[in-house]
A = this chain, B = another copy of it.
Amino acid sequence: MPSDGATRTQGAPQTGRRSTTVNPRAAHLAMALHCVAEQSGEISRAGISAATGLNRSTACSLIEELIDGGLVREVRDTGTTTRVKAGRPGTGLGLRDDGPAGLGIDVNVDYTAVCVVDLTGKVRYKHVVSEDQRGQGTREVLDRIARLARGAQNAAEDDGLILCGSAVAVPGIVDRRGATVTLAPNLGWHDLDVAEVLPADVHGERATLDNEANFAALSEQDLIRDGASYLYVSGQIGVGSGIVLDGRLYRGAHGWSGEIGHLTIDRDGPECPCGRRGCLERYAGHEAILRAAGVTAGAGTMLGVRPTAELIAGRAAAGDPATLAALARAGQVLGFALAGCLNLLDVGTIVLGGIYRDLAPWIGPEVEREVRAAFLGARWAQPEVRAAAYGAEAPALGAARSVVRDVINDPMRWLAR
């Protein structure tokens, strides 16, 4: 594993000190395309000139290049175009939905999901195969991924889209460059190059890998558009999180940020497979909730994570006391851990994803109460606790969106292909 300290961020142009090596034309193309992408309505050429500070002729030439390259389209004025002054409206501009598309793949313990999104972030294809992959050989799982990827590619092409890249979400830790799965214990994978098995014709370039919580965090497109800072908590067999700061995923020095599942709740608590005691997962993970609710762990393992969450939610909705008590306790412990995260990170929002999304009606209020009691800034501002916008499809969707986001962040690379 490489040990140098660089950090990859997603969801915005490579900036900061790295901006000193950016080609100016490429940077201007990205600025113009960002303007088009981040408008709620359409924007005119004059609007782009005003928003970027680029002069009118430069803005027009950039837009021509983006139109010729199949990224931007002209639209009839719908009344929402940003007008710079009264009079004849400029021609509106919008992202094309028949150009480049991103393929997202989510390899989970008991299902594999694929999805294709167009440049606007809209889902154009999705497919999920449920199958417990824990007992299977790596080859078998990788072949399934390749098969699903080919199916998605065919569907995308039939729909007039061009797959420009792919991204794979895995339940484990991934190296800093997003190239290799370092460790995915529930799949039995270590130091595995998943991208290598995806046929080269599935995507223009090598697939990018990341932890499922990181990609799931990127499915919250509205928060990202607002440039928000939030912690996306993903309840799965383990408990992970994705940290988004100012609309950009923060992956950490090695790509391992957000590992909240092993935050210590009680040093004298129950043993954890990680070798320590009293980790968050032992109180608020999937198995712990099942056990506390009186469902045998075996049933959970048989059912898989998602059906189990539905089972638990059903019991809670029916008012089962043991289930309600189990969820209240899980919410309290989760909220206690998240309050510490908030005191460190001071993000404005906590998003409950994975199984916590299904269980949010019962877990959410407890999380909110704990967070408000322990967050030092609570006197002045209350962090928002909300359920995720998407459920099981979030990692694949976020992965696919990360691919098209890369095009918006660096259109030159797409244009030069």
Chain A residues proximal to chain B, CB less than 8 Å: 1, 3, 5-7, 9, 12-13, 15-17, 19-24, 27-28, 30-31, 34-35, 38, 51-54, 173, 182, 226-229, 241, 243, 245-248, 250-260, 262-264, 266-267, 274, 276, 336, 340-341, 343-349, 373-374, 376-377, 380-381
Min CB distance A164 to B, Å, is 22
The residue that A52 contacts in the complex, of B21, B251, B348, with Cβ under 8 A, is: B21
Contact of A20 among B35, B173, B254 (CB under 8 A): B35
Report how far A370 CA is from B309 CA in the complex, Å.
Answer: 35
Measured between beta carbons, the chain B residues less than 8 angstroms from A52 are 20-22, 24
**Contacts A1-B380, A346-B253, A376-B274 given: A19-B15 contact, CB under 8 Å?**
yes
Distance A276 CA – B20 CA, assembled complex (angstroms): 47
Q: Give which listed residue, B16, B38, B276, contacts A227 with CB less than 8 A.
A: B16
Distance A183 CA – B17 CA, assembled complex (angstroms): 33
- Chain B residues near A349 (CB, 8 Å)? 5
As for how many copies of this chain the complex holds, the number is 2
Distance to closest chain B CB from A271 (angstroms):
15
Beta-carbon contact of B341 and A248 below 8 Å: no
Distance from A153 Cβ to chain B, minimum over Cβ atoms (Å): 31
Q: How far is the CA of A347 from the CA of B254 in the complex (A)?
A: 8
Contact A276 B340 (CB under 8 A): no
- B248→A380 contact, CB < 8 A: no
Q: Which one, B13, B21, B251, B340, contacts A53 given CB within 8 A? A: B21
- Asked if B24 and A54 make an inter-chain contact with CB atoms under 8 angstroms apart, the answer reads yes
- CA–CA, A257 and B28, complex, Å: 33
A220 → chain B, closest Cβ, in Å? 14
A225 smallest CB distance to B (angstroms):
9
